[in-house]
Amino acid sequence: MSMLYEIEHLHQPNGWLSPGYLEIGKDGRILSVSGVKPEGGTATRLNGFGVPGLSNLHSHAFQRALAGRTEFVTGEMAEDNLWTWRRAMYQMVDRLTPETYQAIAALVYLEMLQFGMTAVCEFHYVHHQAGGKPHSNRAEMSDRLIAAAAKTGLGMTMLPVFYAHGGIGKPVEPTQQRFVHSVDDYLGLIDTLRGRKKDHANLDVGLALHSLRAVTPDEAKAVLAGMQAMDAKARLHIHVSETTHEVAEVKAGLGARPVQWLLDNVDLNSQWCLVHATHLDASEIAGAAASGAVAGICPLTEATMGDGFFPLVEYHGANGAWGIGTDSHYSTSTAEELRMLECGKRLELRRRNVIARPDQGQPVHSGRVLFDTALAGGEQASGQGGGALVAGRRADLVMLDADSNPLLGHGPETVLDGWLLGGTQNPVRDVMVAGKWVIRDRHHPEEAAIKTNYRKAMAELTA
C-alpha cells in the first residue's frame, strides 16, 4: 500500500512545490510527485520544508572516537599535522575490537541521520585483528559496520579498502598490518560482501584504493580489473592529493602528480570519487572536472588536519562534480561542513558568495548551490538511488522544522541559506530512508542504547 504526504514546501530539482504531494510505494521508492493533490487520496500533512537526504561520500567511522582527544601539543612535536595525528590514530586502532568498532559506528551513523544524511560511503580499512591475523570470519569488521548501519536505518555504500604498502617502496608499519590484503584476498572480501546485499536492502558495495602511496600501479590495475568483472558499474574511491607531502612523494615515485597520474593511467570517469583532492594544479582541475569524477571534499577534517583549501571556485567553475564527506567526524553536520567549505574560501579570497553566480541576471543563492551540488555529487559517489524527490528515486526525505531558530521567517527562496549559512541550531526534525521514518521529532528509537554502547566502548579504548 502506498503512502501519500502533503508537504508544506517540497524541494524539487528546479525549485519548490508549496505544497507538494509525495506518493511513496511499499518498496520505499517514490511513485509520484505533484503540486496538486491526487484525486481520491488521503494525504498525511507534514509542515515545514521537505528536502532530499544527502549522501555522505567519505567516512572512517572509527575515527569519531578520536574527536576532541588530540587537541594538544607536546615538547617532542617539531610540527603538528596529519602525520603526527596519524600516530594517535594508530594507537587507537591497535585497541579496536569488533564490538567497539560497531558501537562507535552506530553513534556516528545516528549523528549523520540527525543532521539530514541518509546514506554513507564507508571507506573501511581496519580489516584484521591486531598484528594482522585475519578474523575467523574474514568480513567480521565489515559486517560490524553493516550491522551498525542497519540498526540505525542509514543507507550504506561499503567501500572495503585495498592497502598494501606504508608508502611508495616502503613496507607497512606494525599497526598497518590490520589493513593489508593480497589482491586475491581483497577481491574475495568484496565478493563476500556483495553477497550481504540480499539481506540488506540499502547496502551497496564498491571498491576503494587507499592511495597511490599504499598501492602499486600493478596492484591497482589488478583490483580494478577484478571489480570490473564482478560489477562494471561499481563506485571507485581513492584518497588523493590530501597533503603537499603526498603530492611530492607520488611525483617522485611515479613521475606525476597524483591526479595527473590517475588521468594518465586509469579510466577516470563518473564512477570515481577523488577523496580530498585538495592540492591540484590547473591542469588537474581541468582534467578531473572533465572526467566526470566526483571530488570528495571533507571540509572540517581538512581544516582540523591543516591540510589546506580545496580549489572550490575553480573546480565548480569548470563544472566539476563534488560532494561532501565527514571523514574523521570532527563534525557530522551537513550545515557545518558546507559552511566551512563556502566560508573558508570567503576568508581566503576576501569576498562573499564565492560559489554563486547570477543566472541571466537573476539572483542565485549560495545555500541552494551548495546543497544541490553536494546532493548530486553525494548521490553520484554513493549510487544509493536517492538524491532527489522525484518519481523513481528512493524515498529519502528530510523534514526541516520551520519553527527552528535558523529558519524562523524564511520561505523557500532563502531556507537553504538560513539552514546552511544562517544559524547553529539543527533544524532537522524528521528523517525518512527508503520510505521508513528513522528519526521522528529529532529522536531515534535506538538512541539510548546506541549511546550506552558508545560510552562502554570509549571506556574500554581509553582505559
Residue 318, judged by CB atoms within 10 A of its CB (0-12, 13-18, 19+), counts as middle
Backbone angles phi, psi at 356, to 5 degrees: -90, 140
Distances from the Cα of 293 to the Cα of 65, 282, 315, 425, angstroms: 31, 16, 11, 33
How far is it, in rounded angstroms, from Cα 213 to Cα 167? Answer: 5
Closest by CA position to 108, among listed 66, 141, 167: 66
DSSP state of 64: G
How far is it, in rounded angstroms, from Cα 225 to Cα 200? Answer: 26
Q: Which residues pair with 359 in a beta bridge?
A: 362
| Active-site option among 204, 307, 327, 417 | 327
237: annotated active-site residue:
no
How far is it, in rounded angstroms, from Cα 272 to Cα 282? Answer: 20
Q: Which amino acid is at 37?
A: K
Q: Which residues pair with 406 in a beta bridge?
A: none
How far is it, in rounded angstroms, from Cα 462 to Cα 397? Answer: 37
Residue 199, judged by CB atoms within 10 A of its CB (0-12, 13-18, 19+), counts as exposed
- Cβ(328)–Cβ(291) below 8 Å: no
276: annotated active-site residue:
yes
How far is it, in rounded angstroms, from Cα 121 to Cα 151? Answer: 16
User: Pairing between strand 30-34 and 20-24?
Assistant: antiparallel
- Cβ(453)–Cβ(110) below 8 Å: no
| Active-site option among 124, 181, 276, 329 | 276
Q: Which residues are catalytic?
A: 276, 327
